[in-house]
Chains A and B, each alone.
Chain A
Amino acid sequence: MAAFVMPSLGSDMDAGTLVEWLKKPGDKVHRGDIVAVVETQKGAIEIESFQEGILTGYLTDLGKKVPVGTPLAVIKEEGKDDPDDEALMAGVAPIAVMPSAPAQTPVVAANKEIEKAPPSAGARLKISPAAGRLAQTSGIDPSTLTGTGPQGSIVLADVMARLEQKRGPALPATKAVREGGEQLTGMRAAIAAAMAHSKREIPHYYLSQTVDLTDAEQFVAKVNAGRPPENRLLLGTLFVKAVALACRKFPEFNGHFEDEAFHASAAVHAGMAINIRGGGLVAPAIHNAETLDLDTLMDKMRDLVARVRAGRFRATELADPTITVSSLGDRGVDSLYGVIYPPQVAIIGFGTPVMRPWEQDGEVTLKRVVTVTLAADHRVSDGHSGARFLNAIEKHLHKPEDL
């Protein structure tokens, strides 16, 4: 069956709202083409096609919230007549719809109007890029929102709160909110669900190691000298690559724990924790990070951060990280101990690089160091291999020219 379906968007999301088509009936679709945009608690997400063919028809209306697995469109393989396609188009195949999803055709019309409006009409609105993007794709006029961010700026949560008002409760609330409190909405609710699940199910253990960064810093300074800013490396690039390479030797930290079993992943899809201005974070994947040279990896990280800040990334990036790297690089704390994002089994944290007295060969000198931490799933690995895994990351950072 050549149905283009609502993909799984991570363990904490079971539905999404179709907000934009990027292919129309009659269009050729190649593997990897972006066919539609779906709005979720984590922002607008681009959905790619896994098949080749011709888009012959839509099965779900714009503005409709549908569960994971719902067919959204038919993509017909060229030169092949599949009876299933006919059945799909005729509406014979069961199409699940969220019980409380109201028809939302006005969303599309409103969307067009807003897109035509000049971006800075009247007084300049303080709105984060992610919030602006979501407001635009969902047809909400930002000037009608009350900002709750710094100095009254409109943040993602404000747009999401309005969306939930418009839509009504998508899923029945399981617990009443105590009076005077505030119901968790949008991304906050998504993070709450995933992290509560993690802390409930995953027996975490934690290790840390302080690593001398002299080699890595000198390497970055040397590479960056004479390069224009847009081609410069960040220390964070080396961190991600070092983790990805260490995963090759220690597969018990790279993969998914699902259905009571651990499935190691051959490829390292490094989830990169990215802070969203005004609140929240996402950790989409850099695919096959272990195979990328530093410049390519840096380009991909830059591109990913830009798209997350603009509130738009791809479904595959969100759903399949095999390990997460969190770096509070500039945030001024020595170390961070992450919470594992299920179904992953490990998260590596990098603190702020700082100058510290350091003993080497009986001499104490000032060195730039970073504290690297591991939070890992005790169902899959033990502290012994965790320690070796952290040591492997350290060794890679001492040989940056081999990264």
Chain B
Amino acid sequence: MTREEIEAVLRAEMHKIAPDIEIDDIDRQEDLRDEFDIDSMDFQNLVGALSKRLGIPMPEADYGQMGSFDAMLDYLTDLAG
């Protein structure tokens, strides 16, 4: 998958969890949970959905690499790109 395709997947999953947030308005380098106003349960559901759609395990030990929208996109592109 290209980075663009992966970004489309990430955007779609973020929209499911935080439909009231316009992704173009967020700071892509800031804390993902703050920007989308999501809690640890939402985050785990997001990781679950991405893991299934992209076929990658996304272990908890890697959560530190998923801190912002851009960091998450880099991480996903590295593993599923």
Contacts and interface: CB of A to CB of B under 8 A. Distances in A.
5 contacts: A150-B21, A153-B19, A224-B59, A234-B41, A277-B19
B1 to A, nearest CB: 19
Contacts of A339: none
A275 interface: yes
B39 A302 contact: no
B20 A229 contact: no
Interface of B: 18-22, 25, 33-34, 37-41, 43-45, 47-48, 51, 57-61
Contacts of B48: 228-230
B20 A128 contact: yes
Contacts of B33: 330
A221 interface: yes
Contact of A232 (B18, B25, B44): B44
Nearest to B37: A277
A284 interface: no
A232 B59 CA distance: 10
Main SS of the interface on chain B? helix
Closest 7 CB pairs of A and B: A229-B48, A153-B20, A229-B47, A230-B48, A224-B60, A330-B39, A305-B41
B40 A221 contact: no
Interface of A: 126-129, 149-151, 153, 155, 221, 224-226, 228-230, 232, 234-236, 275, 277-278, 301-302, 305-306, 329-332
A290 B11 CA distance: 39
Nearest to B43: A330
B68 to A, nearest CB: 15
A356 B44 CA distance: 25
A332 B59 CA distance: 24
A188 B33 CA distance: 25
Contacts of A301: 41
B39 A329 contact: yes
B44 A150 contact: no
A302 B47 CA distance: 14
Contacts of A275: 39
Contacts of B20: 126-128, 149-151, 153, 155, 277-278
Contacts of B60: 221, 224-225, 232
B63 to A, nearest CB: 10
A377 B43 CA distance: 35
Given A221-B60, A228-B57, A229-B58, A128 B40 contact: no
B41 to A, nearest CB: 5
A304 to B, nearest CB: 10
A128 B44 contact: no
